[in-house]
Every structure is written in structure tokens, then in C-alpha cells.
Structure 1
Amino acid sequence: MDVLSDVITVARTGRARSAYVRWHAPWGQQFAAVPGSAGFQVILEGSCWLRPPHGAPLRLETGDVLFLPHGSGHTLADHPARVVTTPACTPEDPELPESYTSDRVDGLGQAGPVTAVLCGAYQLDPSRTHPLLLTLPDRIHLPADPSRHPELNAAVQLLAPEVDNPRLGVGATVPALLDTLLMYILRIWLGEQPIHGSAAGWATALKDPAMSAALHAIHQDPAASWTVAKLAAEAGLSRSAFARRFSELIGQPPLGYLTWWRMTTAARLLRATEAPLRSIAAEVGYTSEFAFANAFKRTHRVPPGAYRRAS
């Protein structure tokens, strides 16, 4: 697994929930904030306006992708000044299901122009949220542009007929395409970030050969007996230069990030598997189950056994 794949795998719980919605103008729909989730809107047909809680309205065209990594509330409407009187759309159950679910909804309005949108959401585990995700803005808008984002456009083109006209196998194809869409969104956004800004640290680190090599080594084998010197050798830098640059970009020292990643991996294994504690301890680099339990409790505030039972 590479770093970006790991970031998504450990934070997400269950699989995506989605809905294919067609609105006939005039229409407007509020989407309530859903903390602990990441949502997206893909404009499959027509156009609409995004009205965020703060700031100017934004026009969305066919093929545009809107990603809301922190589950922010917002409104979509056929006109930027549309008065919305309908209740906010809120998931019936805040816990997204383990299996893929989808709905098809004919929305509000009469006989005006049609806007079709694929709405979706992922449930995230706040205790396992990777710091990279915390650097993301409240919304990421990727306009439809095959020349700049051919892979994103291709994913949208594949998704559209699957959700518009579900057929045999849709329960397998759509989740895979949604995962692909999410990966493309993050890859494109990180790749387009300047070297300065709130997300510059992680964006720069993943594009920097030295930092990327060290991060890949940690994620590929968290159980290895890593030291700052060994990670510096992976990065091809001196120990002091590596430690300084890693801390500047990642926001914590190399061994601090290593411990955090080990405990995050352990938390996922405790919830997703029935492996005994000694096996999980060994998988994240601890030869002593007692030492592992102490380290886990320092990070998650509860012993690993209690964490597993609570899940």
C-alpha cells in the first residue's frame, strides 16, 4: 500500500452510500452538515449553484465534482437566489452501512430544466483520521476538464450510467468506481497545490522523493525496528537534515509519526479483525503485548481490549 491508499483505508468505515437525484426547476435542496463523514456531489446532467454557508455562490456544470471532506452543510439550487423552503436532507442513520447502498430519487420542481446529481458520502472514524485529511479545505471543486483531469472525467463517465440505470453487478461496480473517484480527487488536489499554504506540508512531502521514500518505508513495514537514522538512510539524507525536514513538512518528528501510524493501524485491526492482541502487537512492531497495550492506551485513552469491545 502507498501512503495515499493507506490514508483512505484507515479513516473510512463501511462503504459509500450514494443517491442518484434528478431535480426539475425550480428547485433547491439543503444538505445538513454531517460531522465524521466526507461527502461528494457529481453533476451528471444540467447545471446548478452551490450555496455554501459562507462566501459567494459557485456555479457547477455537467461533469463537475464537488468534494466535502469534512461533511460541511451546503445548499444546491437551480438559481443562486432561490429561496429554499424544504427541510435539510439528512441521512436517516448517521452510521453508514457496511455494504453499498443507493437510492434513486426524483426531486422537487415541475417541468423546468433537469439537473441530475450523484450524491454520496463516506463515514470516517475520527480516531483514525490521518493528518493529511485534516489539511483539506471545507470543499474541493474540480471543474469538468478532460484535458486537465482525464482520469477523473473517465471515472465520472463510467459512474453515470451505472447509477442512472443499475444493472447486474452494480453492487460491485459502483463502490469500486466511488473509491476510484475519491482517490482521483485527492491525487489531483494534492498534485495541484503550491509549495506554500496550509496543505503545503503533506502535498510537498508526498512529491518530495526523500520524504516520500521515508513515508513509504513506514507504511510498507510499520513493524520494522525503525530509527531516525534508518529512515534517514531510506530518504538519502543525513540524520539531522532528515529529522528537521520531516518535522517541518509532516508536523511531528519521524518517530512520533511512526508511533501514531502504528497505533492507528492497530486500531483498524482491532475493529476489523478478530486477531489476538499478541498478533496485532507484533504486526505493528511490539514484541511485548504489555508494551503494546501501554502505547495504545496513551494514544487512544483506552486499553486495546476495551477499544475492541466498544466497536
Structure 2
Amino acid sequence: MDILTEALGSMRTGHPSSIRTDGRAPWGLRLPSVAGAGFHVVLQGTCWLIPLEGSGPVPEPVALGPGDVVFLRDGQGHILADDPATPALVPEPGQYSKAPPIGALSIGGDGPRTSLLCGNYHLDQGRPHPLVRQLPELIHLPAGHGRRPELTAAIQLLGSELENPRAGSDGIVPALIDSLLLYILRAWLEERPAGAAEGWAAALRDPAVAPALAAIHTDPAARWTVESLAARAGLSRAAFARRFAAMVGEPPLSYLTRWRMTTAARLLREADLPLSTVAARAGYGSEFAFGKAFKREYGLAPGSYRRLAS
């Protein structure tokens, strides 16, 4: 079970949107907060990213170069500019040309050119998966020779499609942008030093916790207990429960309930299944018990949630 893909899939509320941005110095772009997660890929040239807000201390400006990738977990507002001192403006709708998935924006003067792919992934931030919640607010992956070859290849393919759109580009670009998100998060998770990794970065590699997570994700409807999950992990009940909670951020059965409700919500949004089937797939023997549990988690009955999500 690919837990990273499952976690992101549970939060998706739509397809990613993107804009090819070309700036010639002097240029500055002030981007407001968006619902979801933001990203930028530097295809050519250099620029600065200047964070404007966040739940913690505002980070320092980040210098970006060709091939660099930035992921903004909460889509917080920020500035992109050729220099931190350049005034930044919010782009007007009339400045955009073309439409997503290959939108375009050209700004600035007649100086050196910087080309970026900018956009956002539409993720439900109201109930984020704990894997995503534990990510830093800003992830910067500098380009590196021989590092992250899959991510580098995806960036090169995107750059080629955006520079010279051809037949099929409207289908290729969104698929590449979807892949880009997984490559970004895979790179960040895998580059945590084994001894220093914590939280979900450690859980996905842990020989005891990872099999238990895979079991929950593979079959959320199974009658899992702490004992049965501990047996898969090869630990005693108490040792497994402590280890799981320390890495995942909540006890095993709490996470099981969370994932069951997440699975049910996704089925209600995406599949036209009877409520009895949704209840069974979420591990509940009756619609009544399922409805009660779902309303406790989401504040709505399953039927009402489905109507609002449609």
C-alpha cells in the first residue's frame, strides 16, 4: 500500500492549476494565500521567494536558481521577485494569457529573464492528513547534480511541454504536475537522515510502524485491534502503542478511526454507492452506527455531506 499516494488522494478536491510565469528584471509578483498547497519550479534564471505569513516565525527570503523547487504546504501568501528590494504587485486578471493547464503571465521590464511554473494543488486543508500536517510550511529543494533524478526529469519534461505546447499537452501537463507533487514529497521524506527523521518521515521507514500503517490503509474495514497490529509489527502491545503514537502523532485505534472516516468521506464524494456499502467499507456493520460515527467526525450526516460535496 502506497501510503503517501493514499494520504494525498484523501485530501484532493480538484485538479491542480498552474501558470507559466515569465519575468524580466525588474519584476515583483505578490501572490495572496490560496486554498490548498502552492508550488514553484524555476525553469530558467534566478529569483527570490519572500514569505509573508505563517503559523510560526516568518522564514527569511529564499534565493532560487534553475531547477529549484519550492512547496508551500498551506498555500500561504508570498512574493516572487528578481530582487528582495523590487516592489511587488498583485497581478490583474487581464495580465494573464491562455488558460490552465497552460496559463501564462509575463511581467517586468527588459532585463534578465526568469521563467517559472507556478501553481497550486487543491487540497482540503480543513481536515489535512497528519502526514501533510507534519510537513514544514515551506520545503525548498535546491537543484543538485545527480540528486533526485526523477524530480529533475519531471521538471525537464514540464519545461519542454510549456515551452513548446503540442498535441496532447493539455493532458500531459496536469499529469506531470500531479506527479511533481509526489516527487517533491518523496524527495523530502527520503532525504531525512535515518537517525534524525521523526514523525511520519520516520514512520514510513520504521520496520514496526510501517507494516501496521500499511495494514490499516490496505483494509480499513478489518477488525483491527492494538494486539493484532502489534503482532504484525512484531512488538508487544504496549511497546507498539508507544512507538506508533510517538511517530504518527496519535494512538493506533485513533488513527484507524480517522482513516476509516477519511475513506468513507472520499467514497461519498467520488462514488455513487449506497450508504450501506460505504458503511461496510469503512468497517461498520450498520448504517446507524456508521452515521453516528461520521457525524461525530464531520459534523454532518453522511447523506448531507454527500449532497454538499456533489
TM-score under structure 2 normalisation? 0.92
Matching of residues 145-156 of structure 1 within 5 Å:
145-156=144-155
Alignment of 1:94-105 (within 5 A): 101-105=100-104
**How far apart, CA to CA, are the structure 2 residues paired with 1:7 and 1:17?**
20
- Aligned alpha-carbon RMSD (Å): 1.9
Q: Distance in 2 between matches of 1:76 and 1:111?
A: 17
1:81 to 58, 66, 85: 85
Q: Unpaired runs of 5+ in structure 2?
A: 53-57
CA displacement 1:154-183 (0-9 Å, x = unmatched): 111111111222211122211221121111
Q: Distance in 2 between matches of 1:81 and 1:58?
A: 13
Specify every segment of 5 or more residues in structure 1 that has no aligned partner in the other structure, as ranges: 93-99
> Relative to structure 2, which stretch is displaced further, 59-68 or 141-150?
141-150
Structure 1: distance between partners of 2:38 and 2:93: 12
The correspondence of residues 113-262 of structure 1 with structure 2, limited to 5 A, is 113-194=112-193, 200-262=198-260
Q: For the residues of structure 2 that align with 1:126 and 1:156, how far apart are their CA atoms?
A: 26
Q: Supply the AA of the counterpart residue of 2:253.
A: L
Pick closer, same or farther for the CA change 1:101–1:7 going to 2, 3 Å.
Answer: same
Contact persistence 2:220–2:256 (CA under 8 A): yes
- Once the two structures are TM-superposed, the CA of residue 106 in structure 1 deviates from its matched residue by 4.2
Distance in 1, Cα, partners of 2:254 & 2:92: 38
Which whole-Å CA distance do the structure 1 matches of 2:93 and 2:4 have between them?
Answer: 28
* Structure 1 Cα separation of the partners of residues 255 and 91 of structure 2: 38
Give the aligned residue type for 2:72: L
Report the secondary structure of 1:285's partner residue: coil
How many Å separate the matches in 1 of 2:268 and 2:100?
25
Determine the C-alpha separation between the residues in 2 that align with 1:148 and 1:90.
38
> Structure 2 matches for 1:36-47, cutoff 5 A?
36-47=35-46
* Structure 2 equivalent of residue 95 of structure 1: none
Aligned-partner Cα distance in 1 for 2:195–2:308: 41
Which residue matches 1:17?
17
AA aligned opposite 1:107: S
Evaluate the alpha carbon distance shift between residue 55 and residue 131 of structure 1 in structure 2; reply closer, same or farther with a 3 A threshold.
closer
Is the contact between residue 36 and residue 125 of structure 2 (CA under 8 Å) also seen in structure 1?
no
Contact 1:37-1:124 at 8 Å conserved across structures: yes
Query: Alpha-carbon deviations, 1:65-102, whole Å to 9, x = none?
Result: 01111101111111121122xx424999xxxxxxx932
The residue number in structure 2 matching 1:96 is none
Distance 2:198 2:169 in 1: 38
Structure 1 residue runs of 4 or more that deviate by more than 4 Å after TM superposition: 89-92, 194-197
Structure 1 residue 48: deviation in Å? 0.7
Aligned to 1:303: 301
Change (3 A) 1:89 1:71: farther
What's the counterpart of residue 32 of structure 2?
32
The residue correspondences of 1:264-279 to structure 2 (distance < 5 A) are 264-279=262-277
Give distance in 2, aligned partners of 1:141 and 1:160: 19
- Give, in angstroms, the shift of residue 24 of structure 1: 1.2
Say whether the 8 Å CA contact 1:47–1:59 is kept in structure 2. Answer: yes
Q: Give distance in 1, aligned partners of 2:266 and 2:219.
A: 16
SS at match of 1:101: coil
Share of identical aligned residues, percent? 54
1:106–1:244 CA distance, 2 compared to 1 (3 A)? closer
Q: Is the 8 A contact 1:16 1:178 kept in 2?
A: yes
- The Cα shift of 1:133 comes to 0.8
- Equivalent residues of 1:31, 1:90 under 8 A apart: no
Larger displacement relative to structure 2 (144-153 or 300-309): 144-153
Q: Which amino acid aligns with 2:142?
A: P
CA distance in 2: counterparts of 1:89 and 1:40, whole angstroms: 17
Deviations 1:215-272 (A, max 9, x none): 0010011111111111111111111111111111111111110001000110111111
State the partner residue of 2:55.
none
Name the amino acid aligned to 1:88.
Answer: V
Give, as a single letter, the amino acid of the residue that structure 1 aligns with 2:143.
Answer: A
